[in-house]
Amino acid sequence: MAIRTYQQHTPSLGERAFVDHSAVVIGDVEIGSDSSIWPLTVIRGDMHRIRIGQRTSVQDGCVLHITHAGPFNPDGFPLLIGDDVTIAHKVMLHGCTVGSRVLIGMGSIVMDGARVADDVIIGAGSLVPPGKQLESGFLYVGSPVKQVRALTDKERAFFTYSAANYVKLKDLHLAEGYHLP
């Protein structure tokens, strides 16, 4: 894995966290216990902070970045991700806040200043525009996203199932040594 210090900020990994050796994690990044960062993912906390909670999986080919502070946005936006989040393949998260127990479908984009509440599903290929607020308990799809319907009990149960499944899988990958160069 490529864990890179940048401007005296070194990424920190919680207990039993897995970062695939092909992923790159740079700067002011904290990854929670039992979380997993899968192949070819880039997590770049070079101009603001990135915080990833516990039991969160960031799957293959994702790009996670921040919004820097500057004349058009004096405070910038960190990237904050809660616990038990499943971030599917090729998702881009940029300077947004994602609550806990969230599923973000493949190829989705969540932009600057957007806020995703707890217990949300974002369908594959969706675009969450800058500053958009997604309410808890709903499925959102589209580009730009629209609230489609309330989540079912089965969908709500899937959040912790998915998180636990990825904890088991990352343990197998750790045992195989896929976090080592």
Q: How many helices and strands in the chain, by DSSP H and E?
A: 1, 20
d(CA 60, CA 131) in angstroms, rounded, equals 26
Residues 6+ apart with CB under 8 A from 148: 123, 138, 139, 140, 141
d(CA 6, CA 110) in angstroms, rounded, equals 25
Rg (CA), the chain: 15
Residue 82 CA, chain-centre distance (Å), reads 8
**For 116, phi and psi rounded to 5 degrees?**
-105, 115
Q: 51 near 78, Cβ under 8 Å? A: yes
* pTM score: 0.97
Per-residue pLDDT of the chain (181 residues; tens, 9 = 90+): 589 999 999 999 999 999 999 999 999 999 999 999 999 999 999 999 999 999 999 999 999 999 999 999 999 999 999 999 999 999 999 999 999 999 999 999 999 999 999 999 999 999 999 999 999 999 999 999 999 999 999 999 999 999 999 999 999 999 998 888 7
Q: Which domains are seen in the chain, by residue range?
A: 2-176 (2.160.10.10)
